Amino acid sequence: MAAAYNRRMSMPDLFENDTPRGREALGPDAAILRGHALPCLPDLLPALRQVLQAAPFRTVFTPGGHAMSVKLSGCGALGWISDAQGYRYSPVRPDTGTPWPTMPDCFKALAARAAREVGFPAFEPDACLINRYVPGSRMGLHQDRDERDFSAPIVSVSLGLPAVFLFGGQARSAPALRYPLFHGDVVVWGGADRLRFHGVLPVKHGRHSVMGPQRINLTFRKAR
Ligand code: MD3
Ligand code: FE
């Protein structure tokens, strides 16, 4: 991954379509691609609306019985679920027992292209989690370890209100760095950074011109 790392440490990419497409390294195998999703949004937002119409956001309870402040939906062959039995991926929705909506092609293409740019050339996600944050929603520090194979990266797409992302270490006790994430930012995490603790600070009140009073985050994973 040395070549990709050196590339990330170089100057931000030139501006294209008036969109700043800079890259910020978060670690040896993780980077923020600023504004990377913006050119896709004319296709992505209508596709997202269709997915959410078929599978509306639902409240998810931790195995301990606490409601998460973030509401969840998803698409693809597998979706992440949580209940008294624990956290896991399921081919069917917990609310209906039916399959998740198909992952739109423009979702897959965006995730694969972002992963490739950070040094993961063959990313084929089978799950896209969709998180909805209203003002005040947050996500505590956690690791993502419900996937079978940690060699695949995770790709995230931020939409709507900004949020402060917490990027910690391999142990919960390690100090976390803070990175603001904005509408259109894409982040790729893999390799040595795949199991780092991470979270999101409470989203501040506001209204985004395109997305309204919410933040929506897509995370693409290879669950199986
Ligand atoms: C860093 N979501 O759904 S995405 C999650 O903004 C989750 O909704 C946050 O954490 C959100 O599990 C952050 C970014 C993310 C996802 C997976 C990671 C960051 C990661 C795995 C390892 C390290
Ligand atoms: Fe996570």
Residue 97 CA to ligand 2 centre (angstroms): 24
d(CA 134, CA 163) in angstroms, rounded, equals 11
Which neighbouring-strand residues pair with 61? 67
Residue 115 CA to ligand 1 centre (angstroms): 15
d(CA 92, CA 79) in angstroms, rounded, equals 7
d(CA 42, CA 111) in angstroms, rounded, equals 16
Please state the rounded mean pLDDT for residues 107-129: 97
- Which ligand is nearest to the Cα of residue 189, counting in written order? 1
Q: Which amino acid is at 8?
A: R
Binding pocket residue ranges, ligand 1, CB within 6 Å: 129, 131, 139, 144, 154, 156, 187, 189, 193-194, 196, 198, 200, 217, 219
Determine which residue's CA is closest to atom 4 belonging to ligand 1: 156
Which neighbouring-strand residues pair with 220? 128, 155
State the pLDDT at residue 9.
38
- Which ligand is nearest to the Cα of residue 133, counting in written order? 1
Residue 169 CA to ligand 2 centre (angstroms): 13
d(CA 79, CA 100) in angstroms, rounded, equals 7
Task: Look at the alpha carbons of 3, 181, 153, 123 in this order and tell me if their dihedral is positive or negative.
Answer: negative
Residue 5: which pLDDT band, with cuts at 50, 70 and 90?
very low
- Which ligand is nearest to the Cα of residue 137, counting in written order? 1
Asked if 108 contacts 40 with a C-beta cutoff of 8 angstroms, the reply is no
pTM of the model: 0.91
Q: Which of 188, 217, 218 to mutate to test the pocket of ligand 1 (most atoms within 8 A of CB)?
A: 217
Q: Which atom of ligand 1 is nearest to the CA of 196?
A: 23
Please state the rounded mean pLDDT for residues 117-126: 97
Residue 172 CA to ligand 2 centre (angstroms): 13
Give 123-178 pLDDT, tens digit per residue. 999 999 999 999 999 999 999 999 999 999 999 999 999 999 999 999 999 999 99
Q: Which of 60, 62, 144 to mutate to test the pocket of ligand 1 (most atoms within 8 A of CB)?
A: 144
Q: Where are the domains of the chain?
A: 2-221
| Topology of domain 2-221, CATH | Jelly Rolls (2.60.120)
Residue 199 per-residue DSSP state: E
Give 64-81 pLDDT, tens digit per residue. 999 999 999 999 999 999
